[in-house]
Each structure stands twice: as structure tokens, then as C-alpha cells.
A = this chain, B = another copy of it.
Amino acid sequence: MTPDQVVATGSQIVLANTYHLALQPGSDVVKRLGGLHSFMNMPLPMLTDSGGFQVFSLPKTVNENGVTFKWEKSGTPFTMTPESSVAIQEELGADIIMAFDECVPYPCDRSYAEQALERTHRWERRCLEARTRDDQWLFGIVQGSAFEDLRQQSARELVSMDFPGYAIGGLSVGEGLEVMDRVLGWTAHLLPKHKPRYLMGVGLPEDLWCGVEHGIDMFDCVIPTRHARGGLLYTFQGRLRVTKARYRRDRLPLDTTCPCYTCQNFSRAYLNHLFAAEEVTGTTLACIHNITFLMRLMDMIRTSIREDRFVEAKADFFARYGTSYGPNKRNAVGLGHEEVTGARPGGGARPGGHRSNQNAKRPAGKRTGNKKSGSANKGGGRSGRGGRGGGRR
């Protein structure tokens, strides 16, 4: 997607990745070219992740100083420290930069989670002290794995450090939706209402409702564009796998209500053809649509809050979209039906639609039949673990 295509989706901020950019082209190059906005010609606000999430999926050694690993291409050893992460992010020049944290896998035993959390807090304090630019916001990242007291301790500790914004990290690493819901319940309300709250690496359309319900303001995730590249498109009537034979002659747009360039100009049949012919344009058009969908969904959620009908709007969304949680019991085991047909553009959830999700990164949790989730992971994040800014596109 070109920057003008990204802007046209209605996106409000764009994430770039410290690890990837430090590797290629190098933060010095980005700085020389005027910083990320200028380098990418990106008029939207930008945020850089600290590299913590990516680095932790590489072979590495961790000590109090930082994390030592080898750069992917050259094999050159490098120690990423809170100070170097901040220095790189200052060179990159995003509007929001993230503290360097230690991500732990899920599940994680308590003693390691505790030790990593304390180190993360010391590292985050060092990030605050390492800053030399006052035109960037440094966000703190709450960790603590799936332990209630650790999460709460982390939130309180970081609030005392007075960051201009807070992220909740360590999720979307295989913990499942229920754990995520619980962690958000323990944590989010402890973060100041007047500062942005950012849920890292999340999420899918259904996750946005859950996040906002807990008070989250910002999200990032590679999965919606990964889905798009695989031909899995989001509509308010559920997911639509446009590569299916049933769409080969379908004149309708992906979503008859969608204002995006893709829906305004192309049929499902044309997208089906582009995917079958392996035309890159198909993936571009699909990404434009999925991102636009998420922005429209966030608009819908914001409007429902302003009009004091969030609960009804959420129920209404899930009744049509279907997901593993929400009121539509028929979809209780799946992550949404992929059974939208041209014949039923305004239709409700489809009775036959509660199969398990075929291509999502989302972890198994209680669900079964999720074998493909694992393999779908491989295409994206550095480790294939999660959605936190790991993808290239």
C-alpha cells in the first residue's frame, strides 16, 4: 500500500518497527533522510515499537544491561539496551516511541515473570532517563504475564513514573481471548483516563470491542493485512473468503456499504480472479478493504459510546459478524463465519457458519480444530508468535 492508500483508509496512526528498521535501512539512514515521516512520505502520526517484542523471539541472552542477539542478515552481534532502543527510536523520529521491555512467553512461570517484570520496570526507567528529544512521547509498557498481582503492580509502578501514555504488552502471544480479557480487566482501569491506553499486537474486529470495553484507545495488529493477503476479508456480515469458488461470478462488492476504493470499484468476482491469477494488485485491494473496515468499525464503536449505546451496538455487531464470544451462541466455537454470500448482503449470521477459524493467528484457547493457526503465524511476526508490529507490511 502506498501512503495515500493508507491515508484513504481513515487510519489515524501508523506503526513502524525499531528492530526491522535498525536492520534495514538503519536508523542512521532514516535520520539522514529526515526521519520516518519524511523517508516514507507519511503524513499520519507514527509510532515505533521498541524492538523488545521482535528481539525476544530471536536466540538471545538477557542480562541487566539488555539483550544480546545477532542481526538477522549479517549475523553481527548486537546488544539492544533501553538506551540504544531509545537512541534508535529518536533517530527514526516517530511521534510516539515505546519503552524497551522484556517480553515473556505464555505460559510463563511466576518466578521468571516476576524477575522479568522487575527488570522491565528498571529498563523503562532507564528509557525515560535516556531520552534527549522532547518532541516525542515515550509510552510505558505494562507487563506481568497472566498474574493479576504482577499486572496490577506493573500498572501502578508505571503510573508512578508518569509516562504520557501507556501500553499493555505481553498479550497476543498465545494466551487466548479469555486470558486477554482477564488481563485487561485487571490492568486497564489502573491507567490514567486522561492518557492514551494502547493494547499492543491486538487485534481482530472482535478484539476491538473487548479492548474498548476495557478502556483501550489504541491498537495495532498485523493480522488484518495478513488475512487480506490470504483473501480473508472482513464485512459487517462476517468474514468472507474471497478465494472461494462461489465468488467467481459474484458481481457484488465485498461489502455493499463500504466506501473504500476496493468496494467502490471492484466486484468479488474480480478479486477472486486477482487472487486466482496471483496478481499482487489483489492483495493491495484486499488490504485497503480490511483496514478501511477496521476504521469504520472503530467509528461505529466511538459513535455508540457518544450515543450511550455501546452494549447494544456490540450485541448487534456480533449478531451479524459472529465470533467466539458475544451474544451469537451459534458462533460460540468459531472466530466468525466465512459464509457471506451475494444472495444475502443484509443477512444475519448463517446457521452453518460456526466452523473454526482457518487462517487467524489467534491462539487455540478452548477451541479445537485450530491446527492452521500455528502455520498462519509463520508469515508474520518475527517469531510467528504474535501480532505486535512484527509484520513487514
| A41, CB-defined interface residue at 8 Å | yes
Which residues of B have CB within 8 Å of A290?
A: none
A25-B269, A270-B33 are known contacts. Are A2 and B284 too (CB-CB below 8 A)? yes
| A280, CB-defined interface residue at 8 Å | yes
| A249, CB-defined interface residue at 8 Å | yes
Which residues of B have CB within 8 Å of A283?
A: 280
B40, B41, B266, B272: the one within 8 Å of A25 (CB): B272
Q: Is the CB of A24 within 8 A of B269?
A: no
| A128, CB-defined interface residue at 8 Å | no
| A214, CB-defined interface residue at 8 Å | no
A29-B273, A270-B39, A273-B29 are known contacts. Are A2 and B285 too (CB-CB below 8 A)? yes
Q: Is the CB of A249 within 8 A of B2?
A: no
| A108, CB-defined interface residue at 8 Å | no
B3, B25, B273, B393: the one within 8 Å of A280 (CB): B393
A41-B266, A265-B41, A269-B39 are known contacts. Are A276 and B25 too (CB-CB below 8 A)? yes
Q: Is the CB of A33 within 8 A of B279?
A: no
- Please name the residue on chain B nearest to A32 by beta carbon: B249
Q: Is the CB of B1 within 8 A of A281?
A: yes
Which residues of B have CB within 8 Å of A1?
A: 281
Instruction: Give the oligomeric copy count.
Output: 2
A285 to B270, alpha carbons, bound, how many Å?
A: 23
Min CB distance, A19 to chain B, in Å? 12
A265 to B40, alpha carbons, bound, how many Å?
A: 8
Q: Is the CB of A265 within 8 A of B3?
A: yes
| A251, CB-defined interface residue at 8 Å | yes
- Please name the residue on chain B nearest to A251 by beta carbon: B33
- Please name the residue on chain B nearest to A34 by beta carbon: B251
Contact bitstring A365-393, B, C-beta under 8 A = 1, else 0: 00000000000000000000000000011
Q: Is the CB of A29 within 8 A of B261?
A: no
| A248, CB-defined interface residue at 8 Å | yes
Q: Is the CB of B261 within 8 A of A2?
A: yes
Contact bitstring A296-314, B, C-beta under 8 A = 1, else 0: 0000000000000000000
A248-B25, A285-B2 are known contacts. Are A277 and B39 too (CB-CB below 8 A)? no
- Please name the residue on chain B nearest to A33 by beta carbon: B269
| A48, CB-defined interface residue at 8 Å | no
Q: Is the CB of A33 within 8 A of B267?
A: yes
A272 to B25, alpha carbons, bound, how many Å?
A: 9
Which residues of B have CB within 8 Å of A40?
A: 270
| A350, CB-defined interface residue at 8 Å | no
Which residues of B have CB within 8 Å of A277?
A: 20, 24-25, 392
B249, B276, B280: the one within 8 Å of A33 (CB): B249
A–B complex contacts, Cβ < 8 Å, 25 sampled: A1-B281, A2-B285, A24-B273, A24-B277, A25-B272, A25-B273, A25-B276, A25-B277, A29-B248, A29-B273, A33-B251, A33-B267, A33-B270, A39-B267, A39-B269, A39-B270, A39-B273, A40-B270, A41-B266, A277-B392, A279-B393, A280-B280, A280-B393, A281-B393, A284-B284
Name 10 extra pairs, CB < 8 A, besides A2-B261, A33-B251, A279-B392. Answer: A1-B281, A25-B276, A29-B273, A33-B269, A33-B270, A39-B269, A39-B273, A277-B392, A280-B283, A281-B393
Give the 6 A-B residue pairs with the shortest CB-CB distance, closest first.
Answer: A25-B273, A41-B265, A24-B277, A33-B269, A24-B276, A280-B280
